Amino acid sequence: MIQLLNIEKIYRTDTIETTALNNVNININKGEFVSIMGPSGCGKSTLLNIMGLLDAPTGGSITMDNQSVTSFSRKRLAAFRNLKLGFIFQSYHLINDLSVIDNVELPLLYRSGISGAERRKRALEALGKVGLSARTKHYPNQLSGGQRQRVAIARAIIGNPEILLADEPTGNLDSAMGDEVMNLMLHLNKTDGTTIVMVTHDEQMAKKTQRVIHFFDGQQVS
């Protein structure tokens, strides 16, 4: 599903050069749930941003869903991202001025040919999947951390993405809420077959996934 070949990422400023990723080769199969672990600064978020086509590598190539995305134009990348990928972040990245249901509908606004009624219907379905049907009219600041992350998951899955990329999704949550969010991701992986790549510092969460990739200093070490 995702193939990274010889990926390199060097951040360059006038005075400093930082190698964040060095010769990274990773294959992620369709339907896998993989976690990425490693110490702070080892390149995990950089890797996830590159897999999410949010940032371009300085070397190497990426194949996703059998398409060589490294050669895509920015416009084609944005369309591919919107259709195929869903994102979950540690700090939720919800828009506080929008209600829960309006937050969840957002990714569909960038797709053509979906009516307002269809958006609403799909948002309600997505909120049903995360167990928040009773909170559609609330605003993010009226929800607990775990509920906010579940809204973010509903937003990530409304477009039926084949791949979910999660950057420390349980990092801001206590263990009960973290478990809730993790169980939801496990359920999505199992029932919908969604491929999930999750960066985490939490060994217990990583253990629940099918495979753990360990990173150190910009490279995969196991």
Ligand X SMILES: Nc1ncnc2c1ncn2[C@@H]1O[C@H](COP(=O)(O)OP(=O)(O)OP(=O)(O)O)[C@@H](O)[C@H]1O
Interacting residue ranges for ligand X, rule: CB under 6 A:
11, 18, 20, 38, 40-46
Q: Give me the least distance between CB of 11 and ligand X, in Å please.
A: 3
Nearer to ligand X among residue 11 and residue 110 (C-beta): 11
Q: How many CB atoms lie within 10 A of CB 186?
A: 15
Rank residues 41 and 116 by Cβ distance to ligand X and give the closer one.
Answer: 41
Distance CA 218, CA 20 (A): 5
To the nearest whole angstrom, how small is the minimum distance from the Cβ of residue 41 to ligand X? 4
Beta strands in the chain (DSSP E): 2-12, 17-28, 33-37, 59-64, 67-68, 85-89, 163-167, 195-199, 211-216, 219-220
Pairing of strands 59-64, 219-220: unpaired
Kindly tell me which of 37 and 143 has the beta carbon lying closer to ligand X.
37
Compute how many other C-beta atoms are within 10 angstroms of the C-beta atom of residue 130.
24
Residue whose C-alpha is closest to residue 25's, from 217, 195, 213: 213
Nearer to ligand X, 145 or 171 (CB): 171
One-letter amino acid of 165:
L
As measured in angstroms, the least distance from the Cβ of 19 to ligand X is 8
Taking the complex as a whole, how short is the minimal distance between the CB of residue 103 and ligand X, in angstroms?
24
Contact 56, 221 (CB under 8 A): no
User: Apex CA 46: angle with CA 33 and CA 202, to 5°?
Assistant: 50
Nearer to ligand X, 53 or 123 (CB): 53
CA–CA dist 192, 177 (Å, integer) = 22
C-beta of 34 vs 158, nearer to ligand X: 34
